[in-house]
């Protein structure tokens, strides 16, 4: 056959989609690719490699570390702080300037570290591709680097191989591939080389194709490569990761940026207004300029970035103790605003391992406990331990499960894994729980011959030699096909002919198990006379079988997932299942866990392909389960929810989840079962693969947002009180009540350490009983602003009253000193009430935040010391204040706190 030129073959491979390859016959595929049964010649392969490029996933253009670092200074609030630091230095306040600029530098370093770690997802995908592959070239099979594979190459596949490229099967013998990373299905997929007629098939149903990055569980095959590198399904996911990686800011980042813009214009307006009023009043220009600059600095909450960083970092620490590792600090707060969790099924809501749940033998139905491939669990009947007379029947079924089985179980790092077909692994575990022993079976019944599984027969047979020399065929297969070949049945009283009533009863039992979304396998046997392996053909062996029983298996839901879903519902968080599994299986699990209700819809990937993005945006609120979907579908679903204004968290463990995780507001990877790709694409890793840990992380996120918001209120109310006091005094022609040094000291003492302590407050126990915040909800709503203005008026009012009273009877320096002191006392006392917007201060135990109590106590001592230390009084231009006067000022400073706490009581009683 003449071979197609390299450039033409390359363009043909690019033009053809995977949906077209499965419809072509093997010969037509070979002709289209210009290949031949003996493979490409070495010269042709080299030419195609030159034209197509290496079979490697492309990494996106890397951004230099310097550009990443400079990008941390784009935020408006960062530049406000830099300006405030520069002005503080100009005014000679080195401590304030250093503190402000240190905060900016710390935030830049943290942001640089986060972004520098991004973009590793595609590198992790490259690790999943096969480093070596067996190909047939020029009629000879050789091992070559996978990067050298081209379209038209003939792959030679065996059990245990990692598939190096997408390929169309030419021949397949008992071939099964594990495609969980791409499709989400935990069981091995049977493959065959026949042409498929259906035009649009989900990825998991393209049985005559194998895909890069998947592995061969059993059997062997030859296949012609139809796509390499970025044209493969794995390459498409890498491309989706690049597109999804164009991330937008988190809700908190957006709100802080918006707040920064409002703050700078409000501050400039107020300062210009006060400067103008001062000029009109005849205030000395230099004094007025210095005061205006100080007011501008006072208006900026310098402690806010530090508060946010500390609150988020503390949240990271708390989450780590609750088995959630956060890779991005802003993700902590994003979790708290999550309104929708889009979760994969396999390995996230379910265990991720096939597990036998039900056995039926000799007219009895048994429950099998335990999950996954571990040995823990037992066989029960009606919830009780089985009596001794059940043992013989269970052993008869267990012997077939174990004897007709090529899988092996291994323990790695405390986790049991299967080598081989996951279905056979599940049967192996169930057989052991039912009393079977593989070593005894292999010793007493040595293997004589095997008739491997194929998708046409839907069964597999292993022939073993009995101790008396005869042969016994052990058969596992699809129940309906197996029953057609059975003529007898195993009962408690022995073997007897299989009647029509027996067949009807067994069919009903099979249907009942299928309705529970169990995958059902039947088991049978037949004793044979002595025969040579060549005589043991399928037709000669697989008839007149003795039916023994059924095994019903599934990937079981996690025990804790049901409670976690219920908590999400109570917190008004929508949980949506997105899976590559079959619709009926996905729906059964969703209903079992409480994700899907009677009115919720189930939509398949094929249906998604037929609707526009706009139609999908309208549809998603009514859908609880998306089944048989690809990585591209998952990303579309996430984007549709985001277009509806939802804050979306996407969880998963497979490669097919990574693009959607990257495109979501927050991506959550499973630590145990998750691939390296998903971990690198994620914002958070759940170390115990427990859906409940995600709910705990959401609780932490909500609490952290509350703390940040309450601390912001505390900072802004204090700054507003200072501005209001200064504005009123200028407006009524009073001397300036606070000097620039006083304003800077107030910011250092009352805005600094107490605010950081507020950010570490324990989480409110009722935080998960509230609805989540919407994406558009501002940090500063009407109630926030009204309370802030009231607090500012109370604080400024007390300070103004003290100031005016002192001006009438004492010097201006003493009046300023008392106004300065009462303002500090009022702010420090108010920090205790700022811990909750609804609970009065006496209902919030101080033991919950001892650090705040210590910091406030030290700040009180420092403030009193200022008024009794000649050196500090000289530095801050204050006068001496007697201890009785300090107590009087402390009492006056407590008035704002008392009024605000009484208002809380009034609101609670309404």
* Residues labelled catalytic: 344
Closest CA to 447 of 460, 429, 457, 456: 460
As a dihedral over the C-alpha atoms of residue 592, residue 593, residue 597, residue 598, rounded to 10 degrees, the angle is 0
Helix axes 251-281, 329-336, angle to 10 degrees: 100
CA dihedral sign of residues 230, 231, 232, 234: positive
Those residues whose C-beta lies under 8 Å from the C-beta of residue 230, and which sit 6 or more positions away, are 57, 58, 236, 238, 239
Antiparallel, parallel or unpaired: β 545-554 and 519-528: antiparallel
Q: Which residue has the tokens 């204050």?
A: 878
Contact 3, 35 (CB under 8 A): yes
Backbone angles phi and psi of 816, in degrees to 5:
-65, -40
| Three-state secondary structure call for residue 276 | helix
Q: Which residue has the tokens 């096909």?
A: 481
- Chain CA centroid to CA 890, Å: 50
CA dihedral sign of residues 439, 441, 446, 447: negative
Distance between CA atoms of 502 and 288, rounded to whole angstroms? 101
Distance between CA atoms of 652 and 597, rounded to whole angstroms? 23
Q: Which residue has the tokens 């190909």?
A: 135
Q: Which residue has the tokens 């912001």?
A: 712
Radius of gyration (C-alpha) of the chain in whole angstroms: 36
Contact 139, 38 (CB under 8 A): yes
Contact 805, 797 (CB under 8 A): no
Checking 57-62 for CB contacts under 8 A at 24+ apart, the result is: 57/122, 57/125, 57/126, 57/129, 57/229, 57/230, 57/234, 57/235, 57/238, 58/122, 58/229, 58/230, 58/235, 58/238, 59/119, 59/122, 59/123, 59/126, 60/119, 60/122, 60/242, 60/245, 62/119
| Residue 128 in tokens | 């999943």
Closest CA to 356 of 309, 405, 288, 286: 405
Distance between CA atoms of 460 and 524, rounded to whole angstroms? 11
| Three-state secondary structure call for residue 898 | helix
DSSP H or E stretch at residue 19: helix 18-21
| Residue 479 in tokens | 């129940």
3-state percent breakdown (helix, strand, coil) of the chain, nearest 5: 55, 20, 30
| Three-state secondary structure call for residue 408 | strand
Query: What is the per-residue DSSP string for 711-733?
Result: HHHHHHHHHHHHHHHHHHHHHTT
Distance between CA atoms of 561 and 112, rounded to whole angstroms? 36
Checking 802-809 for CB contacts under 8 A at 24+ apart, the result is: 802/889, 802/892, 803/725, 803/729, 803/734, 803/737, 804/734, 807/734, 807/735
Contact 181, 654 (CB under 8 A): yes
| Three-state secondary structure call for residue 179 | coil
DSSP collapsed to 3 states, 328-347: CHHHHHHHHCCCEEEECHHH
As a dihedral over the C-alpha atoms of residue 413, residue 414, residue 418, residue 419, rounded to 10 degrees, the angle is 30
Distance between CA atoms of 372 and 775, rounded to whole angstroms? 39
Closest CA to 328 of 35, 680, 796: 680
């Amino acid at each position: 056959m003449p071979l197609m030129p390299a450039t033409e073959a390359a363009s043909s491979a690019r033009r053809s989609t995977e949906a077209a390859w499965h419809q072509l016959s093997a010969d037509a595929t070979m002709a289209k690719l210009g290949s031949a049964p003996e493979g490409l010649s070495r010269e042709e392969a080299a030419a195609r490699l030159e034209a197509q490029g290496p079979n490697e996933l492309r990494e996106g253009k890397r951004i230099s570390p310097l550009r990443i670092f400079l990008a941390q200074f784009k935020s408006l609030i960062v530049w406000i702080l830099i300006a405030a630091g520069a002005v503080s230095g100009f005014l000679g306040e080195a401590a304030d300037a250093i503190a402000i600029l240190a905060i900016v530098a710390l935030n830049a370093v943290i942001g640089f570290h986060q972004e520098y770690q991004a973009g590793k997802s595609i590198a992790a995908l490259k690790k999943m591709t096969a480093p070596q592959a067996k190909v047939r070239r020029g009629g000879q099979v050789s091992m070559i680097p996978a990067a050298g594979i081209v379209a038209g190459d003939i792959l030679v596949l065996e059990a245990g191989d990692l598939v190096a490229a997408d390929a169309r099967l030419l021949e397949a013998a008992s071939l099964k591939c594990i495609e969980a990373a791409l499709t989400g299905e935990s069981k091995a997929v049977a493959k065959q080389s026949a042409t498929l007629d259906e035009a649009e098939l989900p990825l998991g149903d393209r049985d005559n194709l194998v895909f890069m990055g998947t592995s061969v569980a059993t059997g062997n095959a030859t296949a012609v490569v139809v796509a390499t590198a970025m044209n493969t399904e794995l390459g498409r996911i890498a491309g989706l990761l690049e597109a999804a990686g164009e991330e937008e800011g988190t809700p908190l980042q957006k709100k802080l940026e918006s707040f920064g813009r409002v703050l700078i214009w409000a501050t400039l307006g107020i300062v210009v207004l006060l400067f103008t009023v001062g000029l009109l009043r005849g205030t000395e220009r230099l004094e007025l300029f210095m005061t205006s600059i100080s007011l501008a600095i006072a208006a900026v909450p310098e402690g806010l970035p530090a508060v946010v960083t500390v609150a988020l970092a503390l949240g990271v620490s708390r989450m780590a103790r609750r088995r959630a590792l956060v890779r991005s600090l802003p993700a902590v707060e994003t979790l708290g605003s999550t309104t929708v969790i889009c979760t994969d099924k396999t390995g996230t809501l379910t265990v991720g391992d096939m597990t036998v749940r039900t056995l039926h033998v000799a007219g009895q139905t048994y429950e099998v406990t335990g999950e996954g491939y571990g040995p823990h669990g037992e066989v029960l009947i009606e919830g009780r331990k089985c009596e001794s007379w059940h043992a013989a029947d269970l052993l008869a079924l267990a012997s077939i499960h174990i004897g007709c089985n090529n899988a092996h179980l291994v323990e790695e790092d405390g986790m049991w894994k299967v080598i081989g077909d996951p279905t056979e692994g599940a049967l192996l575990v169930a057989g052991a729980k039912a009393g079977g022993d593989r070593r005894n079976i292999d010793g007493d019944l040595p293997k004589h011959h095997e008739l491997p599984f194929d998708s046409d027969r839907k069964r597999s047979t292993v022939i073993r030699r009995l101790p008396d020399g005869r042969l016994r065929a052990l058969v596992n297969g699809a129940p309906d096909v197996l029953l057609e070949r059975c003529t007898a049945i195993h009962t408690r009283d022995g073997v007897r002919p299989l009647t029509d009533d027996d067949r009807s009863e067994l069919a009903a039992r099979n249907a009942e198990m299928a309705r529970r979304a169990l995958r059902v396998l039947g088991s049978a046997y037949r004793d044979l006379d002595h025969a040579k392996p060549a005589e043991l053909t399928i037709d000669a062996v697989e008839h007149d079988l003795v039916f023994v029983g059924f095994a019903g298996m599934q990937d079981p839901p996690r025990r804790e997932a049901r409670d976690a879903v219920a908590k999400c519902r109570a917190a008004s968080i929508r949980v949506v299942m997105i899976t590559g599994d079959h619709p009926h299986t996905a729906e059964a699990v969703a209903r079992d866990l409480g994700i899907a209700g009677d009115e919720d819809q189930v939509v398949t990937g094929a249906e998604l392909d037929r609707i526009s993005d706009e139609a999908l945006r309208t549809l998603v609120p009514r859908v609880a389960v998306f089944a048989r979907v690809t990585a591209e579908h998952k990303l579309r679903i996430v984007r549709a929810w985001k277009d509806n204004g939802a804050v979306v968290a996407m969880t998963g463990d497979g490669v097919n989840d990574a693009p959607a995780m990257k495109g979501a507001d927050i991506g959550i990877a499973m630590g145990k079962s998750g691939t390296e790709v998903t971990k690198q694409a994620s914002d958070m890793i759940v170390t115990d693969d427990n859906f409940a840990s995600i709910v705990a992380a959401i609780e932490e996120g909500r609490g952290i947002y509350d703390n940040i918001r309450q601390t912001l209120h505390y900072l802004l109310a204090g700054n507003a009180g200072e501005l209001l006091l200064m504005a009123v005094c200028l407006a009524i022609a009073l001397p300036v009540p606070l000097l620039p040094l006083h304003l800077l000291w107030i910011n250092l003492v009352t805005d600094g350490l107490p605010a950081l302590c507020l950010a570490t407050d324990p989480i409110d126990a009722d935080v998960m009983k509230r609805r989540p915040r919407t994406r558009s909800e501002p940090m500063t709503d009407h109630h926030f602003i009204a309370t802030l203005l009231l607090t500012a008026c109370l604080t400024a009012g007390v300070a103004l009253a003290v100031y005016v009273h002192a001006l009438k009877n004492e010097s201006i320096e003493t009046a300023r000193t008392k106004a300065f002191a009462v303002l500090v006392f009022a702010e420090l006392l108010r920090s205790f009430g700022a811990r909750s917007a609804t609970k009065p201060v006496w209902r919030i135990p101080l033991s919950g935040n001892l650090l705040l109590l210590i910091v406030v106590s030290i700040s009180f001592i420092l403030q009193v010391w200022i008024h009794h230390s000649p050196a500090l009084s000289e530095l801050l231009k204050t006068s001496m204040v007697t201890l009785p006067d300090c107590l009087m000022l402390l009492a006056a400073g407590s008035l704002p706190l008392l009024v605000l706490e009484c208002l809380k009581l009034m609101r609670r009683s309404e």
